[in-house]
A = this chain, B = another copy of it.
Amino acid sequence: MPVEKRTPIPVEEAVKKIVQQTKTWGTENVAITDCDQRILAENLIATNDVPPFNRSPYDGFAIFSDDTNGASENKPIKLLVLETIGAGQVAQQKVKSGTAVRIMTGAQIPVGADAVIMLELVKETTENGQPYIEIKRKVKKNDNISFQGEDTTEGELLAEKGTVISPGIVALLATFGYHSVSVFKKPVVGILSTGTELLDVHEELVPGKIRNSNAYMAAAQVKAMGAKVKLYQHREDDFESLYESITAILNESDLVITTGGVSVGDYDYLPAIYKKLGAAVLFNKIAMRPGSVTTVASYKGKWLFGLSGNPSACFVGCELFVRPVILGGMNDKKPHCTLYKATLGADFSKANPFTRFVRASLSIGLDENVVIPAGLDKSSSVSSLLAANALIVLPGGTRGWEKGSQVGVLSWDGEGSEWPWDSPLFSKSSAIKTAEKLR
């Protein structure tokens, strides 16, 4: 049984191949109460002025400002209070010279009034059972009026298609009457773990077997990316049953993630399954650790992600390769992990013939970010999953890294990045520079 020869490509090239084939998942309408964190598939346009009418920003009295000409501490002027309006009420009477309307915050300025004086600045009196106010200062025309349209005018483009719907955007949708909104669809991701060694999470351990953790982990990852998940019962390493499963899952999913069976071992059937399907393999070997055998293929407009069976490689493959397909198809402008610069908080002594992704704990500091490799980061080490919120990216061709080095870090927390792969932090020369500095 000769071992198949594969030609590794650089990781950024692999990601580029994927990004080039990314296409939208389409759009759908969702209710305003269900649109949180979705991505706008239509422009958000102001359907009315804001404020929609001249209104009072304070509790006070709407007046005709010329009445206050010459008013002073010693010479107050007196106005008859016609009525009181709260927000949402409209004055029944016009304000004309000698009169005022008591007005609450948010209420529409009565016809005839051209200024508002705050409650605290007037003296309220009663004369012959009629309410009056006394004003001891000049009030300028337009004082304390929030004018119609001063914030936003009808027809204004507020947010473009492709914007993530934050709570602030939800407020604007409500303000402008969007009770439903067009958003980009979430893709359906089918997840299948393969491996004769796998048990289900509720099963007791038996010799030679371990519980399936990759499928649950990948499900959590892609859910966090905004996708819908279909989790399938794991399958043994058997060509026929795997082929059958995968063709069935392809019918029900936009993306199929498999874990395991993708290397060149005796029971690694995924390559043969891609071949039998006639799927177009984008790459099957990447100059990276872990996850060098990660294989990505496309088939009839759907995606096949053949992730490695080891947890670290599976995790990394999901974040680097699946993420941009899911988020890119939802038109997210920052579909890749967020790039941070951080100080390495511990030595990392392994040499890196290839680009290495080290699961790590990143602490965002006020003045400096610090990153520490999580656990052993053996590729089989599940315990390194514990504290990890980021991947340290160590360029290939470097001989270990010292504490204090400046490194590039990719994190799935944060707002994402457009294209982190050109960063100088990921170049070998950056590594050499930081090493020289430390010496």
A residues with CB within 8 A of B: 1, 3, 32-33, 36-37, 48, 50-53, 57, 59, 84, 86-90, 102, 104-108, 119-120, 124, 146, 151-152, 158-159, 165-179, 195-198, 201-205, 207-221, 223-224, 231, 236-237, 263-267, 309-311, 315, 338-341, 359, 364, 366-367, 375-376, 378-383, 385-386, 388-389, 413-415, 423, 425
Of chain B, the residue at the smallest CB distance from A375 is B151
CB of A138, distance to nearest CB on chain B (Å): 23
> Which 6 pairs of residues, A with B, have the shortest CB-CB distance?
A168-B385, A88-B197, A88-B196, A171-B217, A167-B220, A87-B197
Of chain B, the residue at the smallest CB distance from A84 is B266
Q: Which residues in B have their C-beta under 8 angstroms from that of A146?
A: 378, 380
A217 touches B120 (CB 8 A): no
Q: 21 A-B pairs, CB-CB below 8 angstroms? A: A57-B379, A86-B197, A86-B266, A88-B195, A88-B208, A89-B196, A106-B210, A108-B207, A158-B386, A166-B385, A168-B359, A168-B388, A170-B217, A170-B219, A171-B217, A171-B311, A171-B382, A174-B215, A338-B364, A339-B366, A413-B415
B174 touches A212 (CB 8 A): yes
Q: Which residues in B have their C-beta under 8 angstroms from that of A172?
A: 213, 382-383, 385-386
Give A364 to B36 CA distance when docked, in angstroms: 22
CB of A388, distance to nearest CB on chain B (Å): 5
Of chain B, the residue at the smallest CB distance from A385 is B168
Partner of A166, one of B53, B84, B220: B220
Q: A196-B87, A220-B170 are in contact. Are A151 and B213 (CB under 8 A)?
A: no
Of the listed residues A52, A197, A415, the one surrounded by the most CB atoms of chain B closer than 10 A to its CB is: A197
A382 touches B152 (CB 8 A): yes
Of chain B, the residue at the smallest CB distance from A220 is B167
Give A204 to B267 CA distance when docked, in angstroms: 65
A415 touches B364 (CB 8 A): yes
B265 touches A104 (CB 8 A): yes
B216 touches A174 (CB 8 A): yes
Q: A382-B152, A383-B50 are in contact. Are A88 and B171 (CB under 8 A)?
A: no
B367 touches A151 (CB 8 A): no
Give A266 to B169 CA distance when docked, in angstroms: 31
Of the listed residues A59, A216, A359, the one surrounded by the most CB atoms of chain B closer than 10 A to its CB is: A216
Give A380 to B51 CA distance when docked, in angstroms: 9
Known A3-B119, A50-B383; further 6 A-B contacts with Cβ < 8 A: A48-B205, A57-B380, A105-B265, A171-B216, A341-B367, A413-B414
Q: A172-B213, A208-B90, A383-B50 are in contact. Are A102 and B201 (CB under 8 A)?
A: no
Of chain B, the residue at the smallest CB distance from A170 is B220
Give A59 to B385 CA distance when docked, in angstroms: 24
Partner of A88, one of B3, B209, B311, B389: B209
B104 touches A383 (CB 8 A): no
Of chain B, the residue at the smallest CB distance from A159 is B386
Of chain B, the residue at the smallest CB distance from A359 is B168
Q: Which residues in B have their C-beta under 8 angstroms from that of A197?
A: 86-88, 106-107
Q: Which residues in B have their C-beta under 8 angstroms from that of A176?
A: 211
B151 touches A380 (CB 8 A): yes
Give A165 to B386 CA distance when docked, in angstroms: 9
Partner of A216, one of B32, B214, B216: B32
A216 touches B33 (CB 8 A): yes
CB of A425, distance to nearest CB on chain B (Å): 8
Give A171 to B414 CA distance when docked, in angstroms: 21
CB of A368, distance to nearest CB on chain B (Å): 10
Of chain B, the residue at the smallest CB distance from A237 is B86
